[in-house]
Structure 1
Amino acid sequence: MNRTLNFNKPWILQRADPYVYKHKDGQYYFTASLPSYDAVVLRKASTLEGLQEAEEVTVWEKHETGIMGAHIWAPELHYLQGKWYIYFAGGNADDIWAIRPYVLECADEDPLTGTWIEKGKMGSADNDVFSFEGFSLDATVFESRGRHYYVWAEKVGVGRQISNLYIGEMESPFKLKSQQVMLTTPDYDWERAGFWVNEGPAVLKKDGRIFLTYSASDTGINYCMGMLTADEDSDLLDPGSWKKERLPVMQTDESYGIYGPGHNSFTKDEEGNDIMVYHARIKKEIAGNPLYEPNRHAMLMRINWNHNGRPVFGF
């Protein structure tokens, strides 16, 4: 029962970019970035509380050479067309910042014990010469009106590049059908602290609307969350269908001791309540590069809904 959960406190330690998937049989699955950035792990439990102490199983490890050989980031587990898929980003062992999105597939019933095969880099549409050619990461997948969409972050520009969010309709679990469409670029000051970044998309649906949260700025205490909203009946590949919030929907709050909240996912508890899974720090001071400081902890937040049917994110 969700009353046993301790919201907005460290739930699973040192697990950044947390992702929870609730399967059709009611089982919960958890994955996240490891501080070592060298493998993909999964946990399984019948409750959200149970994930906290569940055995963590390594289902895939980075390559020693070449692609998928460094910076294994932000895995997500999805169940599509009767198979399991893990979407993650990885660098090249010989060029660690050559980050690209990759796909793993498992046809077995249990993704923790099944065999995972590499499907390679996510495929762009046949007429798309832009997608996944630069620094690309943080992919998520969602379904709407019988169509599946892939949303990801990709850097563009010259010099110090900018990370934007893009969307494309999927032809298969490992290939896009449509050309990329940009959903958002860092327009505001709160998206430009340290780096100009929009990344870490996550989708929450309710009453015919799609709420797409994303993370902004550098990975330290400036990290925060923005949000886009679209009508589920609209053309989701039309940027005009999405309305962007002027201000962040969640950010550092020293009074609660939560610093740099972001890179979230959404699930439901055993009672059907909407739950956000996110990472945050509990200390303001960070020693060294925040990307390699391990103390980003997975946390849970109960999502409330206001009278306008919009999600409320609050500590």
Structure 2
Amino acid sequence: MLASVLGVVVPASPALAAPGPSFTNPLVGTPNSADPSIVYSDGYWYYVATTWSSRIIMRKSATMAGLKTAAEQTVFTLSPGPGCCTMWAPDLQWINNRWYLYFSAEASPGQGERRTCVLESAGSDPLGPYTYRGILNLEPNGAWAIDGSVIRFNGYPNHFVYSAFRGGEQGLFIAPMSSPTQVSRNGIRISSPTLSWERQGSPVNEGPYAVDNAGKTFLTYSASSCQTPDYKLGMLTWTGGDPMSPSSWTKESTPIFQRSDANGVYGPGHASFVKSPDNTETWIVYHANSSAGQGCGTTRTTRAQKISFNSDGSPNLGVPVRTRTTIEGPSGDSNASSRTVYRINARHSGKAMDVQQPNTDNGARVGQYTYNGNAWQQWQFQDAGSGYWRIISQHSGKCLDVVNASTADGAELIQYTCGSGTNQQFQMVANGSYFQLQARHSSKCVDVPSASTADGVILKQYPCNTGTNQQWSRTAI
């Protein structure tokens, strides 16, 4: 397992890796794009953000740039038992060989409102499945507590940092964790919005997230009202000693990241941080608006950019980059996946296997089309065991699939969320320098019907034969 979240050790790849594919901000557009959390694990980026709904959705991509068009996959749906109605401010963390997804939500009737909940994965896949593990007991009497994230310290157990109201002010609090799903005591306040730049619109400290560098721990947070263009980032520094002691923290007197009218970026905040695939760079992922009049709603989009560090080790976030500015992707992202990306070529027509339209939906049909270099014509092969492979669309992250697990002649090939079904498993049966793709569940072969050479012909399964319309090659991209 290679997991890249701040505070998790990631084995370094070779130095001087090439930058990843370029992109422009916004990295992810509306509506599910505020309060972003991002991790890199086993050759993929995983992204989750506020939905303001009962659904928690995730995007997966082999490159950071690919998150822009990656399919949204529902990983959990809230019900009146574990929270209801709306979720926001997720935080995805790898702890003790499981993924934990912390999020703010309206809690069940009688349990208070706007609490922090946690999900636990069944295994090592960030996409789950997840089990609801309850509400963190952060505040006395089950009071309001939101925007939480896990923070790690050398020599101390994990802690949970969050935002809450006490004494009429929304500040930052910290609580020690007894396990990934609970804290051992209520939180202690470590910051209040006392400075003028923390009180624009209303006094607010929220959205804490840690950055580790040079053996030091820095805690970024959002300040002022998100309804204003002056929502921004401040920072606390852990000076050593008990993290539960307010004296172990110092606050920067000025903001570290804020609006840039010249670049048309307003209200940048609620950041998370992630290492590049080769572990040589740190990136900030945050939300912002494109006009001063937008506020806390679904107008906010996710942005990303590389950061640097000051001589004292503290993060230097720079200035929010203007949208539509080309940004080179993270170092090592271009060769980050251990799974090579391929074009799959039909022997008889020379055309590429292609997700039609193109489309990220479940059930989108797969056909052949003249190769155009787009991600919906690019595929990865994932070992499914016993000599079979899952064939995964680079565009959607979904698997080549025989519709409805049919064993009938003429059943169409589609893409669908990857699962364990044998209708998503194919054997590569060698035929000279070409191969046939034989479906495990039906023993039938992927076929271009009537040996057509036309663009847009939908692939189907038929009994395997010697025709070149059932023969394929693959070209590494």
TM-score, normalisation: structure 2: 0.59
The reply on whether 1:153 has 2:163 as its aligned counterpart is: yes
Q: 1:22: Cα distance to partner?
A: 2.2
Q: Distance in 2 between matches of 1:123 and 1:191?
A: 27
Question: Structure 1: which 4+ aligned runs deviate by more than 4 Å?
Answer: 92-97
What is the aligned partner in structure 1 of residue 75 from structure 2?
59
Query: 2 CA distance for matches of 1:237 and 1:213?
Result: 17
Matched to 1:150, the amino acid is: F
Q: Is the 8 A contact 2:23 2:65 kept in 1?
A: no
The secondary structure found in structure 2 opposite 1:205 is strand
Alpha-carbon separation, structure 2, partners of 1:308 and 1:33: 34
Q: Alpha-carbon deviations, 1:185-226, whole Å to 9, x = none?
A: 111121112222100001100111111000011113121110
Say whether residues 1:19 and 2:37 are aligned partners. yes
Q: 2: distance between equivalents of 1:6 and 1:33?
A: 22
| SS of the residue 1:104 aligns to | strand
Whether 1:31 aligns to 2:31 is no
1:275 equivalent in alignment to 2:275: no
1:258 aligns with 2:275: no
* 2:245 is equivalent to residue 243 of structure 1: no
Q: Which residue of 1 aligns with 2:130?
A: 116
Contact 2:82 2:134 survives alignment (8 Å): no
Check the 8 A contact 1:71/1:96 in 2, yes or no: no
> Judging changes above 3 Å, is the alpha-carbon distance between structure 1 residues 153 and 276 closer, same or farther for their aligned structure 2 residues?
same
Following superposition, the deviation at residue 53 of structure 1 comes to: 2.2
- AA matched with 1:314: G
Instruction: Provide the secondary structure at the position in 2 that maps to 1:50.
Output: helix
What is the deviation of 1:67? 5.7
Q: Aligned to 2:104, which of 57, 65, 89? A: 89
8 Å Cα contact 1:134/1:156 also seen in 2: no
2:21·2:63 contact (CA, 8 Å) conserved in 1?
no
What letter is aligned with 1:52?
K
Letter in 2 for 1:215: S
2:122 pairs, out of 69, 83, 107, with 107
Distance 2:23 2:140 in 1: 40
- Which deviations, in whole Å up to 9, do the C-alpha atoms of 1:89-139 show, x marking residues without a partner? 111476999200111111223232x32111111135xxxxx4472221011
1:45 alignment partner AA: S
Equivalent position SS for 2:114: strand
For residues 2 and 53 of structure 1, the distance between their equivalents in structure 2, rounded to whole angstroms, comes to 19
Question: Is 2:74 the partner of 1:74?
Answer: no
Task: Please say if 1:311 is aligned against 2:320.
Answer: no
* Aligned 1:135-214 pairs, distance under 5 A: 135-145=144-154, 147-157=157-167, 161-214=168-221
Distance 1:248 1:66, change over 3 A: same
| Equivalence for 2:241 | 234
Sort the Cα spacing of 1:104 and 1:243 in 2 relative to 1 into closer, same or farther, 3 A: same
- Return the alpha-carbon distance in structure 2 between the equivalents of residues 298 and 260 of structure 1: 12
Listed as ranges, the gaps of 5+ residues in structure 2 are 1-17, 320-477
The residue type equivalent to 1:122 in the other structure is L
Q: Which residue of 1 aligns with 2:58?
A: 42
For residues 61 and 95 of structure 1, the distance between their equivalents in structure 2, rounded to whole angstroms, comes to 20
Q: Distance in 2 between matches of 1:95 and 1:281?
A: 36
Q: Whose radius of gyration is greater, 1 or 2?
A: 2
Amino acid at match of 1:308: D
Q: Please say if residues 97 and 123 of structure 2, whose CA atoms lie closer than 8 Å, have aligned partners that are also in contact.
A: no
Structure 2 distance, partners of 1:21, 1:189, is: 33
Tell me if the contact between 1:85 and 1:103 (Cα under 8 Å) persists in the aligned partners: yes
1:285 aligns with 2:293: yes
Residues in 2 aligned to 1:106 and 1:3: alpha-carbon distance in whole angstroms? 29
- CA distance in 1 between counterparts of 2:101 and 2:115 reads 14
Structure 1 gaps, min length 5: 125-129
Q: Tell which has more relative contact order, 1 or 2 (C-alpha 8 A, sep 6+).
A: 1
Structure 2: distance between partners of 1:217 and 1:95 = 30
Equivalent residue of 1:120, what SS?
strand
Distance 1:57 1:123 in 2: 29
Identity over aligned residues, as a percent?
32
Displacement of 1:269 in angstroms is 1.8
SS at match of 1:43: strand
User: 8 Å contact 1:48–1:269 — kept in the other structure?
Assistant: no
Aligned residues: 297
Contact 1:305 1:311 in 2 (8 A): yes
Aligned to 2:453: none
Q: Write the distance in 2 (CA, Å) between the matches of 1:249 and 1:61.
A: 36
State the Cα distance separating 1:312 from its structure 2 match: 1.0
Q: Distance in 2 between matches of 1:66 and 1:222?
A: 37
- In structure 2, the CA distance between the partners of 1:144 and 1:302, relative to structure 1 (3 Å rule), is same
Contact 1:82 1:107 in 2 (8 A): no
CA 1:95–1:300: 2 relative to 1, 3 Å: farther
TM-score with structure 1 setting the length = 0.87
Deviation at 1:26, TM superposition (A): 4.1
Instruction: Output the CA distance in 1 between the equivalents of 2:212 and 2:145.
Output: 25
Amino acid at match of 2:312: N
